[in-house]
Structure 1
Amino acid sequence: MSLINSTVKPFKVNAYQQGKFIEVTDQDLLGRWSVIVFYPGDFTFVCPTELEDLADIYDQFQAIGCEVYGASTDSHFAHKAWHETSEAVGKVQYALLADMTQELSRNFEVLIEEDGQALRGSFVIDPEGKIRTIEVNDGGIGRNASELLRRVKAAQYITAHPGEVCPAKWEEGAQTLTPSLELVGKI
């Protein structure tokens, strides 16, 4: 069964953000758009490139009212050490969630049980705590933060404009579609 439109299950994890250890819960996701980006592990190879890509446009996510969270099964202590030693990860200003019990990864159905690591899963969550988009990649396939941002904007748009849909390659400001009998067979 797909997680699309399901509500995020309750969770509570430790995290590292901007020089501090904090706690993040499902309640922190409510009232604003959120993105959780799961990655396999700290001190790896593709992961820092993805976190840096997100860090480079984090301000664009914030500008549209969307908070970003990175998540792996590593500890918040490992997140701090990685942040302090990796030039790429050192750019990260969003919270890095420590899913040491693997409950969060299980809840989002990205945990590779035999490895104790998460797949590369990206989840866009609306202000009501419902999952609106999902992308899950194999460990060797990195994601594109700009595409994730585009998907957040599309989810925000269709939420604000019921009855409209965003076609392929839709970008903010582009034309949308209003499904109707008149459109059948004309696209």
Structure 2
Amino acid sequence: MANRLLSVGSVFPEFKKTAVVSLEKGNEFYDITSEDHKNADKWMVMFWWPKDFTFVCPTEIAEFGKHVDDFSDRDTILIGASTDSEFVHLAWRKNHDDLRDLRFPMLADTSKSLAEELGILEANEKIAYRVTYIVDPQGIIRWVSVNDLSVGRNVNEVIRVLDALQTDELCPCNWQKGEATLA
């Protein structure tokens, strides 16, 4: 990675970006900021994918889409992101059956400024790696997972880690929500 990966304990960078939030004419786009989840006193999960109109990416996006209520139940704002434009995101959502009814925003980092600040740009093409961030309500990064461009992530593991972090206790290996913690 060109820049140093922003990791656990770091403050998530401030941002204001346009995102696709709907297919409804006139309501497709909305500006999202780094303050939205903090003002709502919520956690944030932001996951990045390399490119729209590709093969692995829609499988991940659709799987996150199936779990929107799981994140909502955990007082967590879910945001998907890539360096593609909001217009490309919109066209992809209209074109792909699994993405049409998404209930979370697809953030457009067309300037690549946020991805660059996070240190997640692949060196040659300057596209984002498959990175997932869990950020607490104070804006502190509590978990980061980075996958190679060719490997999709595990959404259930993101939820498991979110559950563990939200206990604010010591959680053993393979801990699942409802199991005893170590503290």
**TM-score, normalised with respect to structure 1:** 0.89
Q: Which amino acid aligns with 1:75?
A: S
Paired with 1:53 and 1:170, the residues of 2 have a C-alpha distance of: 22
Paired with 1:80 and 1:73, the residues of 2 have a C-alpha distance of: 13
Report matched runs for 1:1-187 at 5 Å: 3-19=7-23, 20-30=28-38, 31-158=41-168, 164-178=169-183
Q: Percent identity?
A: 35
What is the aligned-residue RMSD (CA, Å)? Answer: 1.2
Q: CA deviation at 1:70?
A: 0.5
**Structure 1 alignment gaps of length 5 or more:** 159-163, 179-187
Q: Is the 8 A contact 1:14 1:24 kept in 2?
A: yes
Regions of 4+ moved over 2 Å = none
- Bigger relative contact order, structure 1 or 2 (CA pairs below 8 A, ≥6 apart): 2
Q: Is the 8 A contact 1:105 1:111 kept in 2?
A: yes
Q: Is the 8 A contact 1:52 1:91 kept in 2?
A: no
Which structure's CA Rg is the greater one?
Answer: 1
Bigger shift: residues 106-115 or 8-17:
106-115
Paired with 1:67 and 1:25, the residues of 2 have a C-alpha distance of: 12
Deviations 1:84-114 (A, max 9, x none): 1101112321000000011111122211142
Tell me the SS of whatever aligns to 1:14: strand
Paired with 1:112 and 1:29, the residues of 2 have a C-alpha distance of: 27
**TM-score, normalised with respect to structure 2:** 0.91
Tell me the SS of whatever aligns to 1:107: helix
Q: Which amino acid aligns with 1:165?
A: L
Q: Which amino acid aligns with 1:135?
A: S
Q: Which amino acid aligns with 1:27?
A: E
Tell me the SS of whatever aligns to 1:112: coil
**Structure 2 alignment gaps of length 5 or more:** none
Paired with 2:167 and 2:146, the residues of 1 have a C-alpha distance of: 23
